Each structure stands twice: as structure tokens, then as C-alpha cells.
Amino acid sequence: MIHYPDAAVIEQIARAAVAAMPDLFRQHLDGVAVHVEEFADRETLDSLDIASPWGLLGVYQGRPMTERSIWVSGELPARIRLFRRPLLAERDATGVDLHDLIVHVLVHEVGHHFGYSDEEMEEIDEGED
């Protein structure tokens, strides 16, 4: 029987993944919140030109570190949003371990926090194979 963990379990996995990151990265993640939601909202999907809510596993929202300035104020804190139902569907469709999938998505979104584009993150992923 397939287990469908709730949002609290997914958040716990994500927090453990952040805690396990090297200090060099982790020290720059203070203040970056991790939220788990069932699906991305329509506004988020539209902003990324994604038609289906099943097509987005996670998203980084905030100003990347490479674009920050002391002259910018009044912004909401950066956050990473993980989407539970699409993550579980991806796990079911691919057979990838849920922990590994969450870590992969989280690392991808942390990459955006450090200023990497989707294309650059894909190149990094391909280099790991």
C-alpha cells in the first residue's frame, strides 16, 4: 500500500534537508521560509506559464541573493513553496524515493535563491549523472 504523507511530514523532510546542507549554503538560508501547500495557486502557475497544477513541484519566491541591495526595502521575505500533491504524484509516476525527490526539488529552489536560472540548474543536474 502506498503511503501519502501529510504536509507536516513533507515539511519535516525539507527542514532536515536544509539542516544537512553544508554550512556555506545553510548560513545564507536564514530567513528563507519553507512552506508546504497542496497545489500552487493559479496566480503562481500563470506567472510561470504552467497550465496544470500537477506540473509544479516547488517554487522559489523572492529576490535572489545576486540581486539584493541595501537600497531595496519593504519586500516580503524569500520563501520556498513545495506542493504536496504534485510531489506525491511524481513519486508515484517515477518510483523515485519521496525523500530524494523533496531534496532534489528543494536544492533546485535553493539554487534560485543563489541566483541560478532553471537552465543553469538543469546543467548542474546533468553534470551529476
Domain count, the chain: 1
pLDDT at 34: 92
pLDDT at 1: 62
Report if residue 1 sits inside a domain: no
pLDDT at 51: 96
What range defines the domain where residue 105 resides? Answer: 7-128
Distance, CA of 96 to CA of 87 (rounded, Å): 10
Domain with residue 113: its CATH number is 3.30.2010.20
Distances (CA, A) of 120 to 25, 97, 113, 123, 129: 17, 24, 13, 5, 15
Report if residue 54 sits inside a domain: yes
Q: Is this structure's pTM higher than 0.75?
A: yes
Closest by Cα among 105, 99, 112 to 29: 112
Sign of dihedral through CA atoms 81, 33, 101, 85? negative
pLDDT at 69: 57
Distance, CA of 71 to CA of 74 (rounded, Å): 10
Report if residue 2 sits inside a domain: no
Report if residue 118 sits inside a domain: yes
Walking along the chain (129 residues) 10 residues at a time, the average pLDDT comes out as 86 92 81 93 96 96 68 72 98 96 90 73 68
Cell of 4: 501519502
Report if residue 101 sits inside a domain: yes
